Amino acid sequence: MTDRRPGPPVELVRRLATAGGAIALAHYGHAAPLGDDALAAARAAAEAYLRDRLARLPPGVPVVSADAVQERHESAHQWWCVDPLGGSAEFLQRTGAFTVDVALIERGRPVLGVVVAPAWGRAYAAARGRGAHRVDGDGPPVPIRIRHADPRRLTVAVGSSSERPPAADLALRLYMGGVRVTSRRAGSSLPFCLVAEGAADLAPRAAQTPAWGMAAAQAILEAAGGRLTDLAGRPLAYSMSAPSAPAIVGSGDPDLDWHQYVSAPVQATSLAPPPPVWAA
């Protein structure tokens, strides 16, 4: 018999993730410099809350996070993938661009995803077959959708400083192909959400990125009409025992052929160097 439980309403999961974000935000503070102790306390408190609440929706679905892999549940067809505080550098540097990410995985694919940026008062959420939306503060859900890309003028979304090299490499390749490139910065999984809402066209991410923070954003991006794939164009699949993702690209417009810019190494050129890509 197939183990297939109905998923909970995405609005309910969004409220739980928002509450988890508020718990993490309580450790964020406004005065004293943040350190690893504050980060660990925020992560532990948010994770404890989310584990307790998600374990009831519906009961029996395993809850797996970056800090507590449960390989004994590897055969489960459904499981919760949780990153209780994505974007450690952003949390410590007080940029506000850290997130709480919750995804429901079904047979290796995310079918529901919520990304909450508590310091920004913003949430993104999606469920398979129900589209994607953004919520600001106490406002109503607003549907979001990827945008049509102008192949000569593209916006690349990038995360933390550790993710800038792959984004800079892609921007250089685009520039050398005659594309005018601007950038949007956002931490954790937020670059993929920017693509989902039509604020950016591409969001590259380096190899060995923890998969825990990708699943929710993938559900949102796919529901908004985009894709999150490896460099060969294959959608990501998730396993409890494989917590790292390969090099990936979040893309919006399906007609945009970004593969041509990552399929070959950058060659020497007589072109003038590109303008600073991080200025935007």
Q: Please write the tens of the pLDDT for every residue from 142-183.
A: 999 999 999 889 998 887 655 555 666 776 777 777 788 888
Residue 230, strand partner residues:
248
Q: Please write the tens of the pLDDT for every residue from 6-43.
A: 557 999 999 999 999 999 999 887 545 667 788 889 99
The DSSP result for 126-161, as a single string, is EETTS-EEEEETTSPPEEE-----BTTEEEEEE-SG
- Is 85 labelled a binding residue? yes
pTM: 0.86
Mean pLDDT of 72-89: 82
Give the model's pLDDT for residue 251: 94
Rounded (5°) CA angle 122-205-165: 115
- Is 257 labelled a binding residue? no
Cα–Cα distance for residue pair 117/28, rounded to 1 Å: 13
Give the model's pLDDT for residue 191: 93
Half-sphere exposure of 273 (CA within 13 A, CB side): 5
What share of the chain has pLDDT > 90, as a percent? Answer: 45
Domains of the chain in start order, with CATH, are 10-144 (3.30.540.10), 153-279 (3.40.190.80)
